[in-house]
Structure 1
């Protein structure tokens, strides 16, 4: 079979959920020598941590001038400044049984603000009668490294007379994440290869009573940066011919990597080189994503294709398995 270079051009996109655009450029233009301002943070989520707090999380933004920090807004009011190396925060002193809207903006090292993220909403639960009893301690805390930059933690549900609102994940003695009270697992990314970490989990109820931490989990990430635990899974590549223009297209489908955060950007590699970046807007797919791109007009041409995800911490995850697909034929 012949192998020829293929120009990549966008075509109609098939999605499980959400909207998708090809990444051509990021941010608004600043001065001629300054480059673009930071882009809008993607993958923003907000979840009530208690009757008076909401945990807001977003994907890290990259910028030519570097990111100095993030500004978190409740409605039109700025409520928190967050350092550039963080991408989550607890917004506190809220009212019970109240719906809130949050947005996030990135600020580069030149002090320039990028556009706001999409709005996300969260509703705090009711406070209920006076509650001074903390939840029980989460039990059976376990963990494992999934590649060199991530770990997966799990635990048994804690008990509380009025229900657990959220779980705090701590690294050392510092809270680094929060998940809803109905979750008993979390994936922590943004770690360093060949490094020893200690994680604990504690439960929080709607009245902000916090349990003692469960037993510590000590894990060491592998020394080599293989990224296997952060690679897209169930990757497939097939080819079809469009009846309208007679050209061949390569159809990709995959399962997003398991992270506590939303994957909004992927990089597609074709025949050993980066071909295009794919950015999902709105509700990015959580279970299976699909994408098609132009592959020329000649049948019988072999192509190798793989892809990787930009993780919520702003780093690239591991590559998927590489597939070989022939125009006019199925994958091999």
Structure 2
């Protein structure tokens, strides 16, 4: 698993006056190396929360990208710790919640030395309204299909299940183990963090607000590609780069559509002229349909630059690059 660069930049207009390649000022740069004797714990990555029913939320995450040893994970609802789990577990159903209520979850890792690492990004979820006397399970999802997307990801699609009260979520299983969950309006999941050249078997079940679970769909069997290739489905789509002049200087404006990973994409690496320039991170609400970012590039007209970016995947690794775009200031 690749290490997240130690420099991050939160999108904020007040920092536009700093050169992207210098990244100074505004108090937004952080150094996660910490200067300690051993590797410092970083936050768990790829955290998602999906309402599983009116009274439960399925929280998923991946291990921090630091190499520090981990003994346990702690799941927080707001400021309250609700679950403590062993290091090999990366998902949990938080139950006993209120229907039609908004919750915020974070996850923290505890190191072998007892140190509690930083909190993950905050993820927000709202449970659906409760239903009374619902004992009917949804129908089984039909038409499950899938394809390998490079060496470490697969894409699954299926037809909607039906339910007399409505489907709240779909649970994805690898064999008999639930490994992923998406909302009831979705019929696609991108599963990442898989092993190259490995055979997998997946199925899907539908769940309603009363926690009734459908029979399993048919099983689809897929084998990931050999090598280390990131699948094209993990790359940002419709990537555009333009320049503009404002206040006597030039800026590069980026726009793109996030890859459909089944959850929010909280971070992107921006590469300028072949080198990583910064990591752009969103907080609690990452854009889902369209993303934009703008940065100062200098005062010289006629300067030519190449720019591309890639997204952080749910397993904390980085997906495939967008196409590289070339821009020239003053044009």
Q: The TM-score by the shorter chain falls in which range?
A: 0.7 to 0.9
The alpha-carbon distance between structure 1 residues 26 and 90, as it changes in their structure 2 partners (threshold 3 A), is farther
Q: Report if aligned partners of 2:138, 2:167 keep a CA contact under 8 Å in 1.
A: yes
Alignment of 1:198-237 (within 5 A): 198-227=201-230, 228-237=232-241
Q: Which residue of 2 is the match for residue 91 of structure 1?
A: 94
Q: Report if aligned partners of 1:97, 1:127 keep a CA contact under 8 Å in 2.
A: no
Q: Which residue of 2 is the match for residue 132 of structure 1?
A: 135
Q: Which residue of 2 is the match for residue 113 of structure 1?
A: 116
Q: Report if aligned partners of 1:263, 1:309 keep a CA contact under 8 Å in 2.
A: yes
Q: Which residue of 2 is the match for residue 285 of structure 1?
A: 287
The alpha-carbon distance between structure 1 residues 23 and 230, as it changes in their structure 2 partners (threshold 3 A), is farther
**1:94 CA drift (Å):** 3.9
Q: Does 1:24 align with 2:29?
A: yes
Q: Where do 5+ consecutive residues of structure 1 fail to align?
A: 1-7, 14-20
Alignment of 1:1-332 (within 5 A): 10-11=15-16, 24-25=29-30, 32-34=36-38, 36-39=40-43, 41=44, 44-58=47-61, 60-84=63-87, 87-94=90-97, 96=99, 100-116=103-119, 117-118=121-122, 120-129=124-133, 131-227=134-230, 228-242=232-246, 244=247, 246-329=248-331
Deviation digits for residues 216-257 of structure 1 (CA, Å, limit 9, x no counterpart):
111122213322221111111222222x2x222222221111
Report how many residues are paired.
Answer: 310
Q: Report if aligned partners of 1:103, 1:120 keep a CA contact under 8 Å in 2.
A: no
Q: Where do 5+ consecutive residues of structure 2 fail to align?
A: 1-8, 19-25
The answer to which of 71-80 and 317-326 deviates more is: 71-80
**1:59 CA drift (Å):** 6.0
The answer to which of 43-52 and 162-171 deviates more is: 43-52
SS of corresponding position for 1:149: coil
- What is the TM-score with the length of structure 1 in the denominator? 0.81
Give the Cα separation in 2 of the matches to 1:295 and 1:232.
Answer: 22
The alpha-carbon distance between structure 1 residues 236 and 282, as it changes in their structure 2 partners (threshold 3 A), is same
Give the Cα separation in 1 of the matches to 2:292 and 2:17.
Answer: 11
| RMSD after superposition | 3.0
Q: Report if aligned partners of 1:95, 1:124 keep a CA contact under 8 Å in 2.
A: no
Deviation digits for residues 180-208 of structure 1 (CA, Å, limit 9, x no counterpart):
22222222111122221111011222332
Give the Cα separation in 1 of the matches to 2:116 and 2:223.
Answer: 37
Give the Cα separation in 2 of the matches to 1:101 and 1:256.
Answer: 23
**1:12 CA drift (Å):** 6.6
SS of corresponding position for 2:211: coil
Deviation digits for residues 139-182 of structure 1 (CA, Å, limit 9, x no counterpart):
11111222322222121222223332322100111100112222
Give the Cα separation in 2 of the matches to 1:293 and 1:150.
Answer: 32
Give the Cα separation in 2 of the matches to 1:136 and 1:168.
Answer: 13
Give the Cα separation in 2 of the matches to 1:52 and 1:32.
Answer: 42
- What is the TM-score with the length of structure 2 in the denominator? 0.82
The answer to which of 261-270 and 219-228 deviates more is: 219-228
Q: Which fold has the larger relative contact order, with Cα–Cα distance below 8 Å and residues 6 or more apart in sequence?
A: 1
